């Protein structure tokens, strides 16, 4: 007998709590195999395809493209052991009533282990089905005469309808995932059983509770009816509580456009706010003559072989500087009140992409040569622009290099990439008057800026690091002493 299993948005790792649906890869009524990607989602780190651990017929999808779902929210339901429903069009001549299309007859891939469930366990989402149930699933998908799907037990929606029906509140548990939402409701005396969630499948969101708090505040204690002239419709899929509140208060400016602060932009915002809140940062800067660095790069590239990028040379200088000043390759454990100095240098570098600013990380940058650094930076940059980087390649940095000179600006005061302790900023390199060997000359000058966590070191250490970087930029031969 077919069973309907619900597949929820799994924990995608790296502390991510939500994801936005970018593109559905399956339709309602379509047959899916074990570990087949069913939806493409965008997290705060990257775009990923989410595979389903079940094999069967898709009976419902939750959320339109562009919808943001929290981890644990339903994605799809799958009728395991069912055949695909009949299409809306008339069947071909000779087709048996209720027969499944050929796709349902295909056996499971050998990679699944032959038990009808996924061998790949997603983070936070297991495939712990009972062995007996697994055997039944496998037999049904192999076309070994499963019992027909009974409508009272499995209601397969029409393929023409991709939207799940509105949830009906019963006596079961309240559809709340976030403990913050529960606490907010408890603090304001809101009964969650009385709310209609505006999230997928009736999920109660924080906005729903906040709306209920505001709506209750607008009502007189003795009169449960809404105040005159202030519409207070309950939150639903068609009415966003926040937008209803803005319309009721008249606070929306004419012609204003609201952009949801989510995905990459939302993650960047959260990280920058946390950095400014927790890190007592300070900034030092210096101008440097980069003429010799540019000549050195040109000479290296003329010698043949893969080209060396300027960013790779700067990255190699940073790694050498951190070897001399390891205090800056650190993080702060605020709870333990300890500075954690790190042995390995995982060098992040800022890259502008169509999705916004991301920071790919060159792992173990201290073990790379200048050539391999250049190749790795080029590879990560290309993957970042195409959206092919996963969370593991965008996290774990210990120091960040930010070349904002590509935007045509000279200087900046970078915000530290939390939980790192420092960031080096590089402005544009342009011809400027400069005193060189006692004479005024036109040289290629760059402004270097170091923002650092004042908890991990004092200005002397930060200044020493920045001066070393500037010396290497002005006289690249300095690097030969330590290579």
Whole-angstrom distance, CA of residue 97 vs CA of residue 91: 8
Q: Which pLDDT tens digit goes with each residue over 183-221?
A: 788 888 888 877 877 776 677 877 778 778 877 765 434
Q: Which of 67, 257, 253, 235 is nearest to 163 (CA)?
A: 67
**Beta carbons within 10 angstroms of residue 302's beta carbon:** 7
What mean pLDDT is reported for the chain? 76
Span 264-481: which CATH code?
3.30.559.10
- For position 173, what pLDDT does the model report? 56
Helix segments in 46-130, DSSP class H:
none
- Greatest alpha-carbon pair distance for the chain in Å reads 96
pLDDT over 90 at 112, yes or no: no
Q: Is 454 a catalytic residue?
A: yes
Judge contact between 354 and 388, C-beta under 8 A: no
Architecture of domain 3-87+99-141 in CATH? Answer: Beta Barrel (2.40)
Whole-angstrom distance, CA of residue 191 vs CA of residue 381: 49
Of the residues 188, 346, 418, 454, which is catalytic?
A: 454
pLDDT over 80 at 97, yes or no: no
- For position 107, what pLDDT does the model report? 38
pLDDT over 60 at 318, yes or no: yes
pLDDT over 50 at 93, yes or no: no
Q: Which pLDDT tens digit goes with each residue over 156-191?
A: 444 444 444 444 444 455 566 566 677 788 888 888
State the pairing for strand pair 356-358/338-341: unpaired
Maximum mean pLDDT: which of 63-67, 120-124, 258-262, 306-310 = 306-310
pLDDT over 60 at 236, yes or no: no
Please report, for residues 293, 440, 471, 478, the alpha-carbon distance to residue 437 in angstroms, rounded to integers and kept in the order given: 17, 8, 15, 18
Mean pLDDT for 348-373 is: 91
Q: Name the segment(s) of the chain with CATH classification 2.40.50.100.
A: 3-87+99-141
pLDDT over 50 at 15, yes or no: yes
2-11, 90-99, 419-428: which has the minimum mean pLDDT?
90-99
Whole-angstrom distance, CA of residue 434 vs CA of residue 381: 34
Q: Name the segment(s) of the chain with CATH classification 3.30.559.10.
A: 264-481
Is pTM beyond 0.85 here?
no
Mean pLDDT for 288-309 is: 93
Long-range CB pairs of 294-299, under 8 A, 24+ apart, other chains included = 294/429, 294/444, 296/476
Q: Which helix (H) or strand (E) holds 23?
A: strand 18-24
Mean pLDDT for 1-19 is: 77
pLDDT over 80 at 319, yes or no: yes
Q: Which of 400, 329, 309, 41 is nearest to 200 (CA)?
A: 41
Q: How confident is the model at residue 243 (pLDDT cuts 50, 70, 90)?
A: low
Q: How confident is the model at residue 143 (pLDDT cuts 50, 70, 90)?
A: very low
Higher pLDDT pick, 201 / 390 = 390
CB contact burial 305-324 (16+ within 10 A = b; e otherwise): eeebbbbbbbbbbbbbbbee
- Helix, strand, coil percent content, the chain, rounded in steps of 5: 30, 25, 45
Torsions phi, psi of 430, nearest 5? -135, 155
Whole-angstrom distance, CA of residue 316 vs CA of residue 255: 49
Higher pLDDT pick, 457 / 115 = 457
Q: How confident is the model at residue 246 (pLDDT cuts 50, 70, 90)?
A: low
158-172, 212-226, 332-346, 455-469: which has the minimum mean pLDDT?
158-172
Would you state the structure tokens that stand for residue 332, as one six-digit string?
């702060």
**Beta carbons within 10 angstroms of residue 393's beta carbon:** 20
Higher pLDDT pick, 65 / 427 = 427
Please report, for residues 168, 185, 193, the alpha-carbon distance to residue 171 in angstroms, rounded to integers and kept in the order given: 10, 19, 9
Mean pLDDT for 396-407 is: 94
Mean pLDDT for 219-242 is: 45
Return the residue matching tokens 């061998």.
Answer: 119
């Amino acid at each position: 007998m077919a069973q309907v299993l619900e597949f929820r948005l799994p924990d995608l790792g790296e502390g991510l709590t939500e994801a936005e649906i970018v593109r559905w890869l399956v339709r309602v009524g379509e047959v899916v195999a074990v570990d087949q990607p069913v939806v493409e989602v965008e997290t705060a780190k990257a775009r990923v395809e989410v595979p389903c651990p079940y094999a069967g017929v898709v009976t419902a999808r939750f959320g339109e493209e562009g919808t943001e779902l929290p981890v644990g929210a339903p994605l799809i339901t799958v009728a395991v052991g069912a055949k695909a429903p009949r299409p809306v069009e008339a069947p071909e001549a000779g087709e048996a009533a209720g027969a499944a299309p050929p796709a349902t007859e295909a056996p499971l891939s050998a990679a699944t282990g032959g038990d009808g469930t996924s061998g790949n366990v997603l983070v936070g989402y297991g495939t712990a089905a009972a062995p007996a149930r697994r055997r039944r699933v496998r037999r049904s998908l192999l076309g070994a005469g499963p019992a027909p799907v009974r409508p009272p037990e499995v209601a397969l929606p029409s393929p023409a309808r991709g939207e799940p029906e509105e949830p009906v509140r019963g006596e079961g548990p309240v559809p709340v995932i976030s403990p913050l939402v529960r606490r907010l409701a408890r603090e304001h005396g809101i009964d969650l059983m009385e709310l209609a969630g505006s999230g997928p499948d009736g999920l109660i969101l924080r906005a729903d509770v906040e709306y209920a708090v505001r709506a209750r505040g607008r009502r007189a204690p003795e009169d449960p009816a809404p105040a005159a002239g202030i519409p207070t419709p309950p939150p639903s899929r068609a009415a966003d509580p926040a937008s209803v509140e803005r319309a009721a208060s008249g606070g929306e400016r004419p012609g204003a456009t609201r952009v949801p602060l989510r995905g990459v932009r939302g993650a960047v915002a959260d990280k920058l706010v946390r950095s400014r809140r927790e890190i007592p940062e300070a900034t030092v800067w210096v101008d440097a003559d980069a003429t010799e660095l540019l000549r050195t790069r040109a000479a290296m590239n003329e010698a043949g072989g893969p080209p060396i990028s300027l960013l790779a040379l700067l990255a190699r200088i940073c790694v050498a500087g951190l070897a001399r000043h390891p205090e800056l390759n650190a993080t702060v454990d605020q709870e333990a009140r300890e500075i954690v100095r790190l042995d390995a240098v995982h060098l992040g570098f800022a890259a502008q992409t169509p999705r916004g600013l991301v920071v790919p990380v060159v792992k173990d940058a201290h073990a790379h040569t200048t050539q391999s650094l250049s190749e790795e930076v080029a590879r990560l940059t290309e993957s970042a622009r195409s959206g092919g980087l996963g969370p593991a390649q965008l996290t774990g940095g210990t120091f960040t290099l930010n070349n904002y000179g590509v935007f045509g600006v000279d200087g900046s005061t970078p915000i530290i990439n939390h939980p790192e302790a420092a960031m080096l900023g590089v402005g544009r390199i342009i011809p400027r008057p400069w005193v060189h060997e006692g004479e005024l000359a036109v040289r290629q000058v760059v402004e270097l800026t170091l923002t650092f966590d004042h908890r991990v070191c004092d200005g002397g250490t930060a200044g020493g690091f920045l001066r070393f970087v500037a010396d290497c930029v002005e006289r690249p031969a300095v690097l030969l002493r330590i290579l």
